[in-house]
Structure 1
Amino acid sequence: MTKLEVWRLKQEVCSVVLILTPEQTHCSSTFCFTEDRMNNATCPRISFDFTSRFLPPVYILVFIIGLVANGWGLKTLLQNWKKLGNVNVFVFNLGLTDVLYLLTLPFLVVYYFMDSTWIFGDTFCKITRFCFNLNLYGSIGFLTCISVYRYLAIVHPMKVMGRLSVTHSVVISVLVWLLVSVQSLPDMFFTKTSTNMTKCYDTTSDVYVEDYLKYSLGWTLTGFCIPLLITLGCYGHMIVTLCRKENIDKVLKRKSLRLLVILVVLFSVCYIPYHVLKNLNLWSRVLSKRGACRGWFNGVYIARQIGRGLVSLNSALNPLVYLHGSEVAPAQLRKLFQQARQAVMRQASTPTQMSTM
């Protein structure tokens, strides 16, 4: 028997095993083996059921808080549009990216509640994942634009005074949308659903995972690392300027420091863990496809799902930028909390009054 015939025989065996046990079977370039055999060897069992337990509660929480916060934030922004600077165009687009993603979360909640069974078709699966990517990299892009504008206003106020108009902000926003769409578009050409149309992958199937890893690394560089370096450079120089100059407006200084804290939280909690764990998990899948087993596979998979939950929080945390950009919003928020507190106290006192009658 020739080598070619042996290889074809192995492929036929692999196809039969995949048909019989599609969820528990893994293939390398030389042969196929089931999860049981992997467990008996050196590969730990991957906790795939962790995703269905962890993500639905997170998505429900993000959906409720994000929808309320972004709705209130966009309303406040539009009511005080003239009082804010040109940066409000970026803040408005930031809110649009959040709403676009939040509207897809109910479908993902249904998907994970049904034990990762997708019932909405291949096209809508790709649309759902595309909306997530628009939200993620659109948020990073518009936050970077806000940082650059704030940097110019503090470090080079005389050079930009009167030169940055609303038109400039609109044109830059359109360019951000186009750039993010171009970066995210190749993702839609990768397989997003399983053969029997029951899975909706956030990346792609194991067949194309090696190509997807290369694409993901390039995407991480252009969509995340470069904006991160720009943001760090702007705020590094801005902090030096704020410390050296004493004639800078205290309100402007307070806003800048507040935005710095918000960005540190967003990048540290949401964006950095997501990108690191995403690419590490893709690498573990590439190793598994090649027949290699590592003890850290399961830990990386679980950490990756936690990273997916954390990155979705950006849609609930982004409205904090409204607080940074508006002096009216914090006052309205305090008034809202006071009204809620008074309503709760009235409800609590009503039963007491009824009992004394």
Structure 2
Amino acid sequence: MNKTSCPPVSFSFEHKFLPPVYILVFIIGLVANGWGLKALLKKWNNLKIINVFVLNLGLTDILYLLTLPFLVVYYCMRSKWIFGDALCKITRFCFNLNLYGSIGFLTCISVYRYLAIVHPVRVMGRITVTHSVAISVMVWLLVSVQSLPDVFFPKTHPNFTGKCYDTTNKRNVGDYLEYSLGWTLTGFCIPFLITLGCYGHMAVVLLTMKRTDKVLKQRSLRLLFIVILLFSVCYIPHHVFKNLNLWGRILSNQKDCRGWFNGVYIACQISRGLVCLNSALNPLVYLHGNENIVAQLRQMLQQVRQMFNRMFLSNSGSVSVAETTDEVRNN
């Protein structure tokens, strides 16, 4: 145990890594979610139960994506926040609403798919769109209640102006770790176990029932893959390294220096970049749930390809004309 001051953690990695990730997620996520929500709203009168959850999933993404330009400026300016303390807290609150709202609505989608396959007659006939709307409101309220205490933790440092912590400052990190562990349990672990249980049972049913519709089986297994991808890439690393980094900060405050501090901090920043990818990956749920969107995507890609072909032919024609003119002039 080393009782001298711990060597400072290098913050340069986040300034290089996070801005390009945020810019990429902002562009892809805004286009994909905007397009997916537009497709869902076109069929508002025929809105299905699962699409209510998908719609709310898209709204959580849009809410977070609109805050990314502020974070890009913050990290490009080497962690100097110029937008005020209130907007700092709003930005961090929107991130938490997106993260835990996404987990909540993915859990709702998973439970719905489970009931539709395992208990199609006994349960599904009793669930209506009104029920799904009421459940969505409850998810928003629950996520807001879970995220609200975060707003009351200081997001700035008394000795360093312009900071906007995603957790809290050095003085309050101990209390924040206790809150974060409880938040991880209720906001992530419990929904994850519910989702895992639903898909585990559903996979067994689909693989053992010979009469199951092949299309239904493929779509359900595809959704299982998407949800596992989101949890494995986006959610699990974030919660693991966020709490490890908070614990490391507490040990550093106690001058209990460990060699893994810097490595965990870098891993935490990478996980922050990965967790924001959920706003770009969530539209995969649109593709799973709506075959019309797949057809529209193919049509759009075909139109883009035709547009580039016309541009290429137009440019080739212009070059040929120019070359012919030069030949005439030279002769």
TM-score (norm: length of structure 1): 0.87
In the other structure, the counterpart of 1:170 is 133
Cross-structure match for 2:182 = 218
Distance 2:19 2:91 in 1: 15
1:285 aligns with 2:242: no
Deviates more, 1:221-230 or 1:338-347: 338-347
Question: Aligned partners of 1:161 and 1:273: how far apart in 2?
Answer: 35
Give the drift of 1:353: 1.8
Structure 1, unaligned runs of 5 or more? 1-30
- Over the aligned positions, Cα root-mean-square deviation in angstroms equals 1.3
Q: CA deviation at 1:83?
A: 5.2
Q: Alpha-carbon deviations, 1:195-253, whole Å to 9, x = none?
A: 25410000001101011111100100000000000000000000110011122222222
Inter-CA distance 210–46: structure 2 relative to 1 (3 Å threshold): same
Contact 1:270 1:313 in 2 (8 A): yes
The one-letter amino acid paired with 1:118 is W
SS at match of 1:159: coil
Aligned partners of 1:127, 1:111: CA distance in 2, in Å?
14
The answer on whether the counterparts of 2:115 and 2:124 sit within 8 Å (CA) in structure 1 is no
Q: Deviation string for 1:39-65 (max 9, x for gaps)?
A: xxxx4x422111111111100111011
CA distance in 2: counterparts of 1:71 and 1:165, whole angstroms = 26
1:146 is aligned to 2:109: yes
Compute the TM-score of the two structures, normalised by the length of structure 2.
0.93
| Residue in structure 2 matched with residue 93 of structure 1 by the alignment | 56
Task: Write the letter of the residue equivalent to 1:73.
Answer: G
CA shift for structure 1 position 32: 8.3
Change (3 A) 1:82 1:151: farther
Superposed, which structure 2 residues align to 1:270-309 within 5 Å?
A: 270-309=234-273
How far, CA to CA, are the matches of 2:215 and 2:100 in structure 1?
A: 30
Aligned to 1:336: 300
Q: CA deviation at 1:84?
A: 5.5
Would you say the 8 A contact 2:177–2:246 is kept in 1? yes
Unaligned regions of 5+ residues in structure 2, if any? Answer: 322-331
Look up the SS of the partner of 1:295 in the other structure. Answer: coil
Structure 1 stretches of at least 4 aligned residues deviating more than 3 Å after TM superposition: 80-84
Q: Give how far 1:77 is off.
A: 1.1
- Residue aligning to 1:194: 157
State how far apart, in whole Å, the 1-side matches of 2:198 and 2:44 are: 25
Give the number of equivalent residue pairs.
318
In structure 1, give the amino acid aligned to 2:84.
G
The aligned residue for residue 104 of structure 1 is: 67
Whether contact under 8 Å (1:122, 1:197) holds in the other structure is: no
1:120 to 44, 60, 83: 83
Aligned with 1:266 (options 220, 226, 230): 230
Aligned partner letter, 1:115 = R
Structure 1 match to 2:325: none
1:310 maps to amino acid? L
Given candidates 75, 85, 104, the residue that maps to 2:38 is: 75
- Secondary structure of 1:157's match? coil
> Which amino acid letter does the alignment assign opposite residue 153 of structure 1?
A
Contact 1:121–1:197 (Cα < 8 Å) also in 2: no
Q: Percent identity?
A: 71
